[in-house]
Amino acid sequence: MEIEIEDYDIEIIMLAQYKHLDIILESSYCTECKKMSTITNYKPYLNKLNDIILRGFCLKCGGPVNRYIETGENIQSAAVAEHIKNVLQISRNKK
């Protein structure tokens, strides 16, 4: 199960690694044009492993691009991600 999060959640989850987000965004592989590209217009999600998945589009060709950021392996990041996921699930279930 994936849950959509916000960009500020990414910063909180990634901790000190957030400073590398631009590099991550600029080094996404596009399966359409078969090249490294920048992911644009992405929506961030948390998966069941507390990893971040960015679903967006290739800057060069506009094809779909997904970028996976393994944050669930870091104990502190995983705990923060789990907390955010729980809060979002509770708040969305109340609507």
pTM here is: 0.88
Task: Find, among 27, 25, 28, 32, the residue nearest to 63 by Cα.
Answer: 32
Query: What integer best gives the mean pLDDT of the chain?
Result: 92
Please, which residues bridge with residue 39 across strands? Answer: 58
Taking only the tens place, the pLDDT of each residue in 19-58 is 999 999 999 999 999 999 999 999 999 999 999 999 999 9
Distance in angstroms (rounded) separating the CA atoms of residues 49 and 81: 9
Among 71, 15, 61, residue whose Cα is nearest residue 38: 61
pLDDT at 95: 58
